[in-house]
């Protein structure tokens, strides 16, 4: 009732506002006109008002969604559902230079199985680093289901820092889930295989094929996974699935689903029923209850064997030390999610219509009392299912994943087959509400929904099919992320976001104010390691180093030129460019592309990145900037000149082109002086205001001051040449002075507009 009232009030406000506008601007369409023309209902208008974010506005939450086999992470805002970024992780991404600069190539190579570089990945489950069960805004992790790998992404610059390859497992699904304080990143296998990438025939499945879960040790300060401090638990050859970390009372534990506990091996080509038939025969599978804290102690006590450099705690030790217990869970489970207070574990069974709420205290009591109903084929103790359950609730068809609300006892479950989200009370065991989604939802997401203090507000359904929701773009349809308002009693659908990268599985959302990304790198940073690059140089100390068979360029970039601009090499040389962006200005990124080569760098302010051509072929290779960085961006260019083997080095810049006279010089010089008087006026305006109260303006003024300083240096050179009556160089340097002035004026005018629009005051 209260909700209905407030909605009516909101619409009344919108309508009243539209009336006010209609009176003041008769030619413009009124809100009612637009609603009529676009066939929008009041409900649509309310949804629009809840999501629309005016230009320059900010989102409340940032979402990190996997992109599936596109191998990256999609970043978008809530409630606006605007896409901000694709973070390149396992797949090269030219705009970010990822997979095209030497630094990221090395990262991808180190994160591939030995002897090859794998240039894609199947990203499934992003996880944010946590401190005491809540997001700390520092790190992001994601898994590769195809080649078991975990990637670490820094939330300072939203870039991938590290990829580790699992040396034991051959396939996974249960990653990258973190423990409550990010002590470990968990990664569990899916398709059982012999451990350590070995061969064994399938008729040895029961004895030689195994599952496993790896605990990757994460060093939070260094932002690095440490393989030497990581360990793997050997598990039976079930298809282990997703993992959820314990919290609070269950903090030392983790809960891992499995399916195909039948250990069925298909073979449709030889007349056997397929995997899907044999893997769903039993009524129940096993949830693995893992005491990771104890496993850590066992690892530290040295009770492991090493496989390919990874510590593996063998099956027998896992059982003897009491590291893993099993409890039956409904047929072919999928999602497993621990409640914010850590007391319950909710499991959805894909082929069961219930949400099963397991009670941690009840399971723990059985473990402590060593009260088991039996053992599995490998000797793992099995708990009593009934005695472990708090309740089971009939939810609908195909329950998959669960996410928690800020309201106590409220959870949301995706129903894949029913194409619905169900809201229910897991304490009392009753369904509260259902909403239809379009269509076939996989994961769902609430804000901070896997933390100890979820934020509520919004839910996103990550749908597998969009079918008829969008303009058709061919047989491969966009994915559909649907935003749902969960702040009231009834769920309300607000917005459909088509995603053109697939297939997203899981997503996590954090309050935007918990993130503090940097604006620029410390001068000369190798962004792939976050360390100072040994290849960085300052403006003025650029150099080309030649050794036999090798040319190495240490250069800088700034609006809008490379230094150096002409680079000579000989056929067969290895040519390496190291560029440092010496800009300080916000968002002044330059690119570096060399024609006919697989090279494109993204040089954000302060960054150093490198590109190597192994064996240069004779020819002329223009290079240019791929970011429209200033009015003279198209002129940001140069040449790599690779002369045929054995020919002599040419002089880099012979005087070709236009010849300038004193008249040309005078004209250019006058233009500079005129421009200066415009700049002086803009400067006078800016400095007459309280611009110092606006960080954006302060940054821009700094940048403009830099440009003017460079201009003054160019002017001095022009003056010098003029004194020597070298009108050629005098005119060209005067022209360069003018280029800097133009950039300064451009920034100055932008600042002036900014100050006017943001209510700066006159202070003198």
* Interface stretch with ligand CUA, choices 54-62, 421-429, 607-615, 622-630 (CB under 6 A): 622-630
Joined together, the tokens standing for residue 645 give 């083997």
Q: Which does 590 bind (CB under 5 to 8 A by kind): ligand RUQ, ligand CUA, none?
A: ligand CUA
Q: What residues form DSSP beta bridges with 338?
A: 345
Judged by CB under 6 A, does residue 745 bind ligand CUA?
Answer: no
Q: Taking Cα atoms as reference points, which of 454, 432, 437 lies closest to residue 398? A: 437
Q: Using CB under 6 A, which residues numbered 197 to 256 contact ligand CUA? A: none
In the bound state with ligand RUQ, the residue whose beta carbon lies nearer, of 398 and 606, is: 398
CB of 620 to ligand CUA, least distance (A): 21
CB of 485 to ligand CUA, least distance (A): 42
Mark residues 623-652: x for contact with ligand CUA by CB under 6 A, - for none: --x-xxx---x--x----------------
Which residue sits closest to ligand RUQ, CB atoms considered? 442
Determine the Cα–Cα distance for residues 437 and 506; give it in Å rounded to an integer.
Answer: 17
Q: What residues form DSSP beta bridges with 526?
A: 531
Distance between terminal CA atoms of the chain?
56
Q: Which does 625 bind (CB under 5 to 8 A by kind): ligand CUA, ligand RUQ, none?
A: ligand CUA
Alpha-carbon distance values, 360 to 332, 339, 354, 375, 384 (Å): 21, 10, 18, 20, 13
Q: What residues form DSSP beta bridges with 638?
A: 623
CB of 605 to ligand CUA, least distance (A): 11
Per DSSP bridges, beta strands 310-313 and 224-235 are parallel
Determine the Cα–Cα distance for residues 509 and 450; give it in Å rounded to an integer.
Answer: 10
Q: Which does 187 bind (CB under 5 to 8 A by kind): ligand RUQ, ligand CUA, none?
A: none
Q: Which does 636 bind (CB under 5 to 8 A by kind): ligand RUQ, ligand CUA, none?
A: ligand CUA
In the bound state with ligand RUQ, the residue whose beta carbon lies nearer, of 65 and 525, is: 65
In the bound state with ligand CUA, the residue whose beta carbon lies nearer, of 313 and 558, is: 558
In the bound state with ligand CUA, the residue whose beta carbon lies nearer, of 530 and 542, is: 542
In the bound state with ligand RUQ, the residue whose beta carbon lies nearer, of 259 and 694, is: 259
Judged by CB under 6 A, does residue 188 bind ligand CUA?
Answer: no
User: What residue has token string 């079918």?
Assistant: 467
3-state secondary structure of 264: coil
CB of 401 to ligand RUQ, least distance (A): 6
In the bound state with ligand CUA, the residue whose beta carbon lies nearer, of 630 and 668, is: 630
Q: Using CB under 6 A, which residues numbered 549 to 578 contact ligand CUA? A: 560
3-state secondary structure of 703: helix
* Residue 639: Cβ-neighbour burial (10 angstroms; 0-12, 13-18, 19+): middle
Q: What is the chain's percent helix, strand, coil content, to nearest 5?
A: 25, 35, 40
Q: Using CB under 6 A, which residues numbered 467 to 526 contact ligand RUQ? A: 505
In the bound state with ligand CUA, the residue whose beta carbon lies nearer, of 147 and 527, is: 527
Q: Which does 443 bind (CB under 5 to 8 A by kind): ligand CUA, ligand RUQ, none?
A: ligand RUQ
In the bound state with ligand RUQ, the residue whose beta carbon lies nearer, of 97 and 126, is: 126
Q: Which does 505 bind (CB under 5 to 8 A by kind): ligand CUA, ligand RUQ, none?
A: ligand RUQ
Judged by CB under 6 A, does residue 584 bind ligand CUA?
Answer: no
Q: Using CB under 6 A, which residues numbered 425 to 444 contact ligand RUQ? A: 442-443
CB of 241 to ligand RUQ, least distance (A): 8
| CB 323 within 8 Å of CB 234 | no
In the bound state with ligand RUQ, the residue whose beta carbon lies nearer, of 225 and 400, is: 400
Q: Using CB under 6 A, which residues numbered 111 to 130 contact ligand RUQ? A: 124-125
Binding residues for ligand RUQ, rule CB under 6 A, total 9
364: CB partners within 8 A, 6+ apart:
250
| Helix (H) or strand (E) segment spanning residue 6 | helix 2-24
Alpha-carbon distance values, 575 to 260, 540, 550, 571, 715 (Å): 54, 21, 6, 10, 34
Torsion angle (degrees, nearest 10) of CA 620, 626, 632, 634: 50
Q: What are phi and psi of 35, to 5 degrees?
A: -60, -40
User: What residue has token string 């091996």?
Assistant: 265
DSSP state of 607: B
| Helices and strands of the chain, counted as H and E runs | 13, 44
**How many Cβ atoms sit within 10 Å of the Cβ of residue 489?**
11
| CB 497 within 8 Å of CB 63 | no
CB of 29 to ligand RUQ, least distance (A): 43
Judged by CB under 6 A, does residue 609 bind ligand CUA?
Answer: no
CB of 416 to ligand RUQ, least distance (A): 8
Q: Which of 108, 347, 400, 483 touches ligand RUQ by CB under 6 A? A: 400
* Residue 10: Cβ-neighbour burial (10 angstroms; 0-12, 13-18, 19+): middle
CB of 97 to ligand CUA, least distance (A): 13
Judged by CB under 6 A, does residue 350 bind ligand RUQ?
Answer: no
CB of 242 to ligand RUQ, least distance (A): 7
CB of 539 to ligand CUA, least distance (A): 15
Q: What are phi and psi of 261, to 5 degrees?
A: -70, -5
Q: Using CB under 6 A, which residues numbered 442 to 471 contact ligand RUQ? A: 442-443
**How many Cβ atoms sit within 10 Å of the Cβ of residue 652?**
13
Q: Kindly list the residues in this chain that would bind ligand RUQ in the complex (CB under 6 A).
A: 124-125, 173, 334, 400-401, 442-443, 505
Q: Kindly list the residues in this chain that would bind ligand CUA in the complex (CB under 6 A).
A: 560, 590, 625, 627-629, 633, 636
């Amino acid at each position: 009732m209260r909700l209905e009232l407030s909605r009516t009030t909101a619409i009344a406000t919108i309508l009243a506002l539209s009336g006010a506008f209609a009176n003041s601007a008769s030619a413009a369409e009124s809100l009612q006109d637009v609603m009529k023309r676009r066939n929008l209902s009041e409900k649509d208008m309310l949804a629009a008002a809840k999501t629309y974010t005016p230009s320059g506005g900010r989102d409340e939450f940032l979402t990190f969604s996997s992109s599936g086999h596109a191998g990256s992470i999609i970043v978008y805002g809530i409630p606006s559902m605007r896409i901000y970024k694709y973070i390149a992780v396992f797949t090269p991404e030219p705009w970010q230079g990822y997979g095209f600069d030497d630094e990221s190539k090395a990262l991808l190579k180190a994160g591939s199985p030995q002897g090859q570089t794998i240039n894609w990945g199947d990203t499934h489950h992003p996880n944010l680093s946590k401190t005491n069960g809540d997001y700390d805004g520092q790190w992001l992790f994601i898994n590769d289901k195809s080649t078991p790998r975990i990637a670490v992404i820094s939330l300072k610059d939203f870039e991938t820092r590290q990829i580790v390859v699992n040396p034991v497992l051959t396939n996974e699904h249960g990653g990258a889930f973190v423990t409550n304080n990010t002590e470990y990143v968990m990664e569990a296998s899916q398709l059982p295989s012999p451990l350590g990438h070995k061969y064994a025939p399938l008729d040895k499945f029961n004895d030689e094929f195994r599952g496993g879960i790896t605990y990757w040790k994460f060093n939070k300060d260094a932002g690095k996974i440490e393989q030497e401090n990581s360990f793997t638990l050997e598990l039976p050859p079930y298809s282990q699935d997703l993992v959820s970390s314990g919290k609070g009372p269950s903090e030392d534990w983790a809960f891992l689903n499995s399916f195909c506990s039948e250990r069925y091996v298909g073979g449709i080509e030889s007349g056997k029923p397929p995997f899907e038939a044999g893997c769903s025969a039993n009524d129940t599978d096993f949830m693995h209850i893992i005491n990771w804290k104890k496993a850590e102690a066992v690892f530290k006590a040295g009770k492991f064997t090493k496989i390919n450099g990874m510590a593996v705690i063998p099956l027998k030790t896992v059982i003897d030390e009491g590291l893993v217990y099993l409890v039956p869970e409904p047929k072919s489970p999928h999602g497993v999610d621990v409640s914010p207070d850590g007391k319950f574990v909710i499991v959805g069974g894909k082929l069961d219509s219930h949400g099963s709420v397991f009670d941690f205290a009840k399971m723990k009591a059985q473990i402590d009392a060593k009260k088991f109903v039996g053992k599995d084929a490998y000797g793992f103790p099995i708990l009593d299912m009934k005695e472990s359950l708090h309740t089971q609730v009939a939810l609908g068809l195909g329950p998959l994943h669960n996410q928690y609300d800020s309201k106590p006892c409220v959870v949301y479950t995706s129903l894949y087959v029913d194409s619905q989200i169900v809201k229910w009370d897991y304490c009392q065991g009753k369904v509260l509400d259902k909403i239809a989604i379009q269509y076939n939802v996989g994961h769902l997401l609430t804000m901070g929904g896997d933390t100890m203090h979820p934020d509520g507000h919004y839910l996103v359904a990550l749908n597998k099919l969009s079918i008829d929701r969008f303009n058709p773009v061919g047989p491969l349809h966009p994915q559909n992320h649907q935003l749902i308002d969960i702040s009231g009693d009834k769920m309300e659908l607000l917005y459909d976001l088509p995603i053109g990268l697939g297939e997203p599985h899981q997503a996590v959302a954090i309050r935007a104010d918990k993130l503090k990304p940097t604006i620029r790198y410390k001068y000369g940073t190798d962004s792939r390691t976050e360390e100072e690059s040994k290849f960085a140089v300052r403006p003025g100390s650029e150099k080309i180093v030649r050794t036999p068979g090798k040319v190495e360029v240490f250069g800088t970039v700034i609006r809008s030129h490379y230094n150096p601009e002409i680079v000579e090499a000989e056929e067969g040389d290895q040519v390496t460019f190291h560029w440092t962006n010496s800009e300080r200005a916000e968002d002044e990124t330059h690119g570096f592309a060399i024609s006919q080569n697989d090279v494109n760098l993204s040089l954000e302010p302060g960054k150093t990145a490198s590109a190597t051509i192994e064996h240069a072929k004779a020819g002329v290779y223009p290079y240019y900037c791929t970011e429209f960085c200033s009015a003279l961006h198209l002129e940001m260019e140069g040449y790599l000149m690779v002369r045929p083997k054995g020919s002599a080095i040419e002089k880099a810049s012979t005087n070709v082109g236009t010849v300038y006279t004193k008249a040309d010089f005078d004209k250019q010089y006058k233009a500079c002086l005129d421009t200066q008087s415009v700049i002086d006026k803009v400067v006078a305006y800016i400095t007459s205001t309280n611009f110092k109260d606006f960080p954006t303006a302060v940054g821009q003024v700094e940048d403009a001051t830099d440009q003017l300083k460079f201009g003054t240096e160019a002017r001095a050179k022009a003056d010098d040449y003029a004194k020597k009556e070298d009108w050629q160089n005098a005119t060209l340097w005067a022209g360069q002075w003018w280029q800097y002035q133009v950039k300064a004026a451009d920034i100055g005018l932008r600042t002036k507009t900014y100050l006017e629009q943001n209510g700066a005051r006159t202070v003198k």
